[in-house]
Structure 1
């Protein structure tokens, strides 16, 4: 008899726990729906992230220096267009930033500081140094506001399809408040640690991306020079231990000379320069992959290929074998 009572209590506890979790979820969703959310920076990545937020009725106001990029969000989703980051900050509880450079992030943070509401949350999806993230957090803490460094990986395709990977630095309880918002733009969201750790993790990602690019482009240039049927090479290699996303999505296009940017070479060069600076605080000359890739990219950029996809490194590998 006691066994059946125990089983009944166990089932009841499970039902109550599920009910409680649903109540918490609804409360969080209600809180999010009542937050005014703004987005600053509608570039290749930011534009798609903003659209995905708007599709989920989670975006009310936007700002971009080039106003033409705000037209779609205004027309299709009735988003308001702000005249400045400061004006946007005065109206929002959550502010999402997507820009290219460290200096841009700090400029925006300093501009919004005088008007930002207390307890607001600023989410920076840009790729910048961990020191910049720490500085931004420090500046906003002076006005009782929160900062999360939330760099993303997945390229333009990931931004468009809301399948980005997001690595988060900051206070975990702050992330919990905005996670329902971030779920509209990222498929995988992982809390790393304090401010700056999100950006440090993104640096790990960018160094790995450089290594994969170097390996795939060099291997395919070798295969081509050996006179192999490259469509068959890609088909079989992609199913083995060396298979990877980059080979699957860029292998055939690079062989046919197509370098439509998913991730621009100039941006990866910028990111690797950040990695180089961060690495210099550890040990000099310990990261030859970073140095080699920066040199290779610079050569291609000097030849006018900076706006092409990073797979355009294949141009150099092929050229070196001729």
Structure 2
């Protein structure tokens, strides 16, 4: 199997490296050509100059930022990939975008799997991502060797769009956890509790969670180098807002997180990690 990878950011680059380790990676591409050139040189694979350079791939994985980026890549790949090949999209986009992408590719006999991931940059670096996939079973089965390169769990959630719907649920939970952890730790600071004792105590009980474990200490030190940028969280939450509106359900946790991350982005924290939310909870 020959696989290509487009989108070599904080998540995509380590995922591509795991594909290379499995002997599957043929070509890499990125909007910033220098980034593709550097990774291609490191891994001794092809640096794509255009989508034509993916024409011999059986599977092409995408990990890009926006709905428009997904559709731009899908439209170009639809013109060059062979019938029977599959595009798997790890981006977080709307259900409608996933369905549009699938329809565009299906017209050319090309499969599509919407497969957003969870696990953060750490999960990508460790090859331990959770993949939530939507699409036809045959397409999911074809891309499984690719997904297995960097996933600890692969769940086929249903038809096209089901992966993105699952990611929407995931992001509601993530947003709520972020809110609770940042409020709790801000309270702990006000009460003068020692972080070196507080954090392991919380992690040992029912309050333990991924965000507290991976971001608790760094946020208390005032370190907000991005694992997941606040601007990307806001983008995801707006997608969830549209999905919730269509489902006719009010999500108060979502509303709070939307307001908070809009505030953070508006005040110049869009490139900071989502844990920068503690600044709001401190009142700073």
The reply to whether TM is greater than 0.5 is yes
Q: Could you say which structure has the higher helix fraction?
A: 1
Q: Match for residue 46 of structure 2?
A: 80
Q: Distance in 2 between matches of 1:70 and 1:40?
A: 9
Report the CA distance between 1:228 and its aligned residue.
2.2
Q: Distance in 1 between matches of 2:37 and 2:53?
A: 17
Q: 1:147-162 maps to which residues of 2 (within 5 A)?
A: 147-162=112-127
Q: Match for residue 280 of structure 2?
A: 316
Q: Could you report, residue by residue, the CA deviation over 1:178-218 in whole angstroms, capped at 9, with x for unpaired residues?
A: 21221111111111100000010011111100000000000
What are structure 1's unaligned runs of at least 5 residues?
A: 1-34
Q: Could you report, residue by residue, the CA deviation over 1:13-44 in whole angstroms, capped at 9, with x for unpaired residues?
A: xxxxxxxxxxxxxxxxxxxxxx2211111111
Contact 1:162 1:185 in 2 (8 A): yes
Report the CA distance between 1:73 and its aligned residue.
2.9
Contact 2:171 2:237 in 1 (8 A): yes
Contact 1:89 1:117 in 2 (8 A): no
What are structure 2's unaligned runs of at least 5 residues?
A: none
1:281 aligned to which of 239, 246, 249: 246
Report the CA distance between 1:56 and its aligned residue.
1.8
Q: Is 2:260 the partner of 1:296?
A: yes
Report the CA distance between 1:68 and its aligned residue.
1.3
SS of alignment partner, residue 116 of structure 1:
coil
Report the CA distance between 1:173 and its aligned residue.
2.4
Contact 1:269 1:297 in 2 (8 A): yes
Q: Is 2:47 the partner of 1:65?
A: no
Q: 1:97-246 maps to which residues of 2 (within 5 A)?
A: 97-246=62-211
Q: 1:1-16 maps to which residues of 2 (within 5 A)?
A: none
Q: Could you report, residue by residue, the CA deviation over 1:78-111 in whole angstroms, capped at 9, with x for unpaired residues?
A: 11112112x0342222111110000111111112
Contact 1:237 1:243 in 2 (8 A): yes
SS of alignment partner, residue 115 of structure 1:
coil
Contact 2:36 2:48 in 1 (8 A): no
Residue correspondences, number: 284
Deviates more, 1:142-151 or 1:172-181: 172-181
SS of alignment partner, residue 65 of structure 1:
coil
Contact 1:55 1:77 in 2 (8 A): no
Contact 2:86 2:142 in 1 (8 A): no
Q: Distance in 2 between matches of 1:148 and 1:66?
A: 25
Q: In angstroms, what is the RMSD of aligned CA positions?
A: 1.3
Report the CA distance between 1:138 and its aligned residue.
0.9
SS of alignment partner, residue 256 of structure 2:
helix
Q: Could you report, residue by residue, the CA deviation over 1:203-240 in whole angstroms, capped at 9, with x for unpaired residues?
A: 11111000000000001111211222232222212111
Report the CA distance between 1:54 and its aligned residue.
1.1
Q: TM-score, normalised by structure 2?
A: 0.96
Q: Could you report, residue by residue, the CA deviation over 1:241-265 in whole angstroms, capped at 9, with x for unpaired residues?
A: 1111111111111111111211111
Q: TM-score, normalised by structure 1?
A: 0.85
Contact 2:27 2:54 in 1 (8 A): no
